[in-house]
Structure 1
Amino acid sequence: MSPAPRTSQRPSGGADWRDVPLAPVMLLFGPEDFISSRAMDDVRRKLRARDAELELTTLDAGHYTAGQLGMVASPSLFSEPKLIEVASLATMTDDFLQDALAYIKDPAPEVTLVLIHGGGTRGKKLLDALKALGVPRVECQPLKKDAEKVQFVSAEFSLAKRRIDAQAVRALVAAVGASLSELAAACSQLVADTTGMVNTDDVDKYYGGRVEATAFRVADAALAGNGPAALSTLRHALATGVDPVPLVGALAMKVRQVAKVFSARGSSAQLARDLGMSPWQVDSARRDAGHWTGPALVTAIKVLAETDAQVKGEAKDPVYAVEHAVTVIATAARH
């Protein structure tokens, strides 16, 4: 195998974790273990496609002793290509810092070095040196916004050459979006266990029992003015042990989104940018807004503020408090 070309390195800050550019030295930076793991898998797959005899070595920068990097990077008897993965850069020893600073200036041939840093400023001198050399940097940051998670789900299905409708994406994010690894696993399960276009019925079949999914359904029914459906779903959730707090949180999120778009004008894409929402959230909130008036929204916002305090300790009966809020909201909405 020929050594990874030095010319493949490029300025840091933009490498795609789904398609990591191979280079003699690479940096995976950030606390999202799932993205870091996916990026590392991509590197291993590409290098093994070049040469199945790839030799893999792992090091821990937090328990590193002087000379280890040079020793494992030195040519082997049969000159097999090497991949060296160094984890825990955020707790690196001074010995590792010094050895790494020397190594990255002149990487060994036939060796690919991947440095994994969980985030923060520890080892800033090394991070700055990597940046100055143009080492590819893969950002492994958590996906915190629903819009980012929606894009993630869409990409997972696209890579699997499967289709999923927009409402199903939204339902899946609502149900399992708290953990990126769980969201990825859910995508894989739906791809494996379903055929054709994945829809909300498929998502509900596998993940409808999640607290987040239940809250999502209660909020949707209440905002649409469907009191019987909202209360029925709510009571079933409460009877099976769902805590009232996330239910109120889902209602509050939905009401806030409707309030944001209520008097707004412009395309979904434009409003998404201006309001910090995704286009599908704008479209959904606009549909809900058709059931509302300004005074009714004020009523909903007030009752939710009161209910939030009540379910967090101010009320003796939080179950009654959330039922009351759902009733008020569903009644306030125009049918």
Structure 2
Amino acid sequence: MPPAARRAAPRRTASAIKQMAWRDPQPAPIVLISGPEEVCAERATATLRAYLRAEDPSLEVSDVRADDYAPGTLLSLTSPSLFGEPRLVRIAGVEKCSDEFLAEALQYIQHPQDGATVILRHTGASVRGKKLLEAIRAGTGGGAEVACPAVKRDSDRFDFAAGEFRSAEKRIAPPALRALVSAFADDLTELAAACQQLISDVPGDITEATVERYYGGRVEISAFTVADTAIAGRLGEALVSLRHALSSGADPVPLVAAIASKLRSMARVAGTRESSAALGARLGMKDWQIDRARRDLVGWSEASLGLAIQAAARADAEVKGGSRDSVFAVERLVTVIATRAPFGS
């Protein structure tokens, strides 16, 4: 078997055990936390620990590495103590587990210890431990699974951030949430940390101005600020925002990408009469994205939108190497969009 094939992630098989959301997991004798999204896995593990600790403050917590495993450790840590305290054993690195761990884990799940909760963390980065995962998913040991799939799409990041504020019973305005997600589009860990900072630091509702005050230096927020003001027809403000973004280190490529993204949303929504929910379901967009695109379309015609989209395509090619002056390419795009007319007319 080629090395690449041996490293391939395990194919997901049908599961006969309870599937739980990572935000609301419940204890079980065996809890498999699977998938690559580490932030979600850490939250699920912390929630389970808090749940068990609330039930019994004497909870004993132990951490084990499946790839650096001493034989006999699992049985030793899960065995009842003299005073019968509940036990929580968190096992990391199952995707790199040793042969010794695999053999003992397979044996353990046949007869889990009373009063013990074993959390197995498998990132899905390899096929290692596949036999153990299949046994757990088949129902051996009375287990449950918490899936933590990769968060890649903008809509998934939006859902993640919205869930952070909803769980904390904290209100955030939709434009503020969109700006925050845009600011941390490439790092879910940073997005999670930013959400928690706003939740803990801001006493009242979180507005777009709040997000701007905390994270206004992020390139993505600047990009969407440029896009919003240009699409609204405020040329002077758009050019000032653009220069501020560029002076703060913004790259013209994501600036153009942000503008093009908003124009594409407008084009997809233009001329439709369906409800936001129905149209969003059909186009794979959120209700708020539909509503925002429709607001952005005010004052636009089919001809001016077509002109803007063509200008965005030209600017995209120029900032990616088609022109020696990428800054001028973005300025020209902003001008075309804000004036809704050909450049220099």
- What is the TM-score when the length of structure 2 is the normalising length? 0.88
Among residues 24, 38, 48, which one is paired with 2:43 in the alignment? 38
- Indicate if the aligned counterparts of 1:17 and 1:138 stay in contact, CA closer than 8 A: yes
Task: Provide the C-alpha distance between the structure 1 equivalents of 2:71 and 2:198, rounded to a whole number of angstroms.
Answer: 48
Task: Provide the C-alpha distance between the structure 2 equivalents of 1:322 and 1:299, rounded to a whole number of angstroms.
Answer: 15
- Indicate if the aligned counterparts of 2:18 and 2:143 stay in contact, CA closer than 8 A: no
SS of match in other structure, 2:81: coil
Number of equivalences = 325
263-272 or 249-258: bigger deviation: 263-272
Cα displacement string for residues 125-157 of structure 1 (whole angstroms, at most 9, x for unaligned residues)? 211111111621111123323333333333322
Among residues 192, 199, 202, which one is paired with 1:194 in the alignment? 202
Task: Provide the C-alpha distance between the structure 2 equivalents of 1:302 and 1:89, rounded to a whole number of angstroms.
Answer: 50
Task: Provide the C-alpha distance between the structure 1 equivalents of 2:202 and 2:77, rounded to a whole number of angstroms.
Answer: 46
Which residue in 2 is equivalent to 1:175?
A: 183
SS of match in other structure, 1:114: strand
Query: 1:185-334 to 2 correspondence within 5 Å?
Result: 185-332=193-340
- Indicate if the aligned counterparts of 1:55 and 1:83 stay in contact, CA closer than 8 A: yes
Query: 1:79-118 to 2 correspondence within 5 Å?
Result: 79-118=84-123
Cα displacement string for residues 275-324 of structure 1 (whole angstroms, at most 9, x for unaligned residues)? 11111011101111223222322222222222222212221111111111
CA shift for structure 1 position 65? 4.3
Task: Provide the C-alpha distance between the structure 2 equivalents of 1:154 and 1:33, rounded to a whole number of angstroms.
Answer: 18
114-123 or 272-281: bigger deviation: 114-123
Which residue in 2 is equivalent to 1:70?
A: 75
CA shift for structure 1 position 45? 0.7
Task: Provide the C-alpha distance between the structure 1 equivalents of 2:18 and 2:301, rounded to a whole number of angstroms.
Answer: 46
Task: Provide the C-alpha distance between the structure 2 equivalents of 1:263 and 1:210, rounded to a whole number of angstroms.
Answer: 34
- The aligned amino acid for 1:269 is A
- The aligned amino acid for 1:332 is R
Cα displacement string for residues 46-68 of structure 1 (whole angstroms, at most 9, x for unaligned residues)? 11112222222111112224433
CA shift for structure 1 position 225? 1.9
- Indicate if the aligned counterparts of 1:225 and 1:291 stay in contact, CA closer than 8 A: no
- Indicate if the aligned counterparts of 1:223 and 1:291 stay in contact, CA closer than 8 A: no
Task: Provide the C-alpha distance between the structure 2 equivalents of 1:127 and 1:78, rounded to a whole number of angstroms.
Answer: 32
Task: Provide the C-alpha distance between the structure 1 equivalents of 2:89 and 2:247, rounded to a whole number of angstroms.
Answer: 53
CA shift for structure 1 position 11? 4.5
Percent identity among equivalent residues?
Answer: 47
CA shift for structure 1 position 240? 2.4
Task: Provide the C-alpha distance between the structure 2 equivalents of 1:193 and 1:22, rounded to a whole number of angstroms.
Answer: 31
Among residues 129, 142, 151, which one is paired with 2:159 in the alignment? 151
Task: Provide the C-alpha distance between the structure 1 equivalents of 2:315 and 2:168, rounded to a whole number of angstroms.
Answer: 43
Task: Provide the C-alpha distance between the structure 2 equivalents of 1:68 and 1:28, rounded to a whole number of angstroms.
Answer: 20
Cα 1:256–1:165 shift into 2, 3 Å: same
Task: Provide the C-alpha distance between the structure 2 equivalents of 1:326 and 1:240, rounded to a whole number of angstroms.
Answer: 18
Question: Which segments of 5 or more consecutive residues in structure 1 lack a partner in the other structure?
Answer: 1-9
CA shift for structure 1 position 13? 6.3
- The aligned amino acid for 2:334 is V
SS of match in other structure, 1:63: coil
Task: Provide the C-alpha distance between the structure 2 equivalents of 1:95 and 1:193, rounded to a whole number of angstroms.
Answer: 47
Question: RMSD value over aligned CA atoms?
Answer: 2.0
